[in-house]
Amino acid sequence: MSKIIKLQDGTPQIVADEWTVLRAPEGGELAQGEVDAAARAIVPLAYWQANREALASRAGAGTLAVWLAPDDEPSALADDLASLPLVAVDFPVFRDGRGYSTAFLLRQRLGFTRELRAIGDVLRDQLDFMRRCGFDAFAVRADKSIDDALNGFGEISVRYQGAIDEPRPLFRRERASTVSAA
């Protein structure tokens, strides 16, 4: 069984991955048999939209989730978020940062509070930034050491920008500490 990094009470831990990410073959469609065979399946948004009625009971039972590609609009899941046990966001290549915005939108605008997982080309260098945007689970690329990736959290000790984990930018935090000390 593969492993992922998951935040548990804010602390990154390596845990067994019980989910199977299903991808359609290049230029093809995902086979229903693949979805049925997976105990816990994460399907593409397009597959979810085309088969929502048939899949809704599995989502409600916590055995089916959806992943978003960089071109997918997070608001397309707005009516379904309450029934999904997790949403995964795909990073097809390291240099494609659209997934950070997707995570932020899911958390801030759409109010998604369940597991938000980064999948695809997920590397150690990205993990702390992903956490700041709202991700709480990380499927590190298969050819990379998950133990090494775990060390990617906390490497950055001072953050200038505001984010999900600390909305105030550094200059506002500094000003607040100066005012409260006076």
Residue 113 predicted with pLDDT over 60: yes
Residues 6+ apart with CB under 8 A from 158: 170
DSSP 3-state of 42: strand
Lowest-confidence segment of 30-34, 45-49, 110-114, 137-141 by average pLDDT: 30-34
User: CATH number for the domain including 127?
Assistant: 3.20.20
Distance between CA atoms of 26 and 5, rounded to whole angstroms? Answer: 28
Does the model's pTM come out above 0.75?
A: yes
Q: What is the pLDDT of residues 23-75, one digit of tens each?
A: 998 888 899 999 999 999 999 999 999 999 999 999 999 999 999 999 999 99
- 44 is in which domain, residue-wise? 3-181
Residue 87 predicted with pLDDT over 80: yes
Q: How many domains does the chain have?
A: 1
